Structure 1
Amino acid sequence: MDNKKNTLLKILYFDEGSAIDYLSICNGGNFVKEDTKAKKTNTSTAGNIGGNISSGIFLKALKPFLDIDFETGGKASISKFGESVVKSSITNTVLTDFLDVAERDKDIFKFKDITVHAQKDSVSFFKMYAPLMKMINFDNITDLPIKFSEMDKTFEESKGYYEMLTSVSHKTLILRFNIQSFKNNYKLIDLTRANLSVYCIRVGKMEVAQLNAKNEFDFENKETIITSSTILDVSLENNDSADVYDVMLAGIQAYE
């Protein structure tokens, strides 16, 4: 690891909302206030630009990229374009500020050059392949207990974070990813095909066996009868527990 630069070449995942909350807590709320003011100022500027260049060369040059109505002067579209630019600018500000603060914060865990995979038969495992189910025709198959074509939509509505497993220093860790925070068209399955550098916070501990889909939504409190056998089982389960981390940023690290 000594020959690796502390630089991310590509961002695969960034939980911007969590990063803003984190920076706001670190800075006493100043970060959000400043960015909100900047957004309002820049959006207003964008609107003024739209009014001034409605018939200019600049607007015509942007036509392939914007849905512009020349009869209205392109004000609405230019305003949206301005908001998009401001949003991108704010995202970049959040990212750079987060990296700057997180590198010095011992409560932000950094795991470099790791690989991840989904536990077999976990919701994350099924989520990775659920979109493919839409292309399979199950109409001629009767008595199916599950509508496989609805699987992906059901996961989207019932679960926001998806767990992936990794190993650091021969220790199994569970990394949770916010499904709404992937960047550059990356999907959950793409994480398994890259060496990642991640920034995350520790949120708890759980048994790896709980990742199994049949255990995922099992909230029933079962009465446990204490015997020598159950004591042994508990001991074995505790050995299979893993720390859980919520990932805030994941990307590809630069190498020298």
Structure 2
Amino acid sequence: MSLSVAAVTVVVDGTTLVDEATFDAPAGRVTALLGPNGAGKSTLLRAIAGIRRPAVGTVHLDGVDLLAMRRRDRARRVALVEQEASTELPLTSRAVAGLGRTPHEALLGGRDPSSDDLVTKALTDAGAFELADREVPSLSGGERQRVLLARALAQQPRLLLLDEPMNHLDIAAQLDVLTLLARLAADGVTVVAAMHDLALAASHADQVVVLAAGQVVASGPTAETLTPELIHAVYGVRAAWTTNPLTGTPLLALG
């Protein structure tokens, strides 16, 4: 499924945080949402997810209007992993991951018998299986991030939105998550991830959407879009494309 965002504008307390954002994110690809702090990345993701309703604009997934859906129906298609979302309730990681099955459960009982297996798979894919029986408040920031990712995976979304998914993770865990996102995209999931690490995004994202002051200033294939000129204009730093000596793939150097 493909995501199409058209002229989405978000206004909070009279301040425009996202201004007519328009872009497409194709299925089968990982799209990185980039921009400096305060550019509007988190707000835009929440608007796409239907959590923060835009003042104007539309969001379609494979031609279907997501914002016109009932919340439960939308949750069967869209999952959002927020940057700092957590719980202090004494719930185990398995219980939190299991919340991702809620949209798929019958309203009047009749629990899906496949839920337990799906939650176990989600925990395993997110690298959180060994945390299943631990209570979430006892976990580190990186461990909580894995559990929240597992909850999103348990939703079996067709659109996966992530706000700084590598936040709190060590380098090995970051690479694991990026590999997982690529695998999900290859399976047909539309993946959009807000990222602050330009080099990491350049190496692993198929597409990028660049925000500055709430506006989309560029979008498209990664190497074609992330030009040194654009990076300097948006971030104020120098950049150059080179080759990764370990993998032979394109590498964005910053200085």
Q: TM-score range by the shorter chain?
A: under 0.3
TM-score, length basis structure 1: 0.23
Greater RCO structure (CA 8 Å; 6+ sep): 1
Structure number with larger C-alpha Rg: 1
The structure that is helix-richer by fraction is 1
Structure 1 or 2: more strand by fraction: 2
For normalisation by structure 2, the TM-score amounts to: 0.24
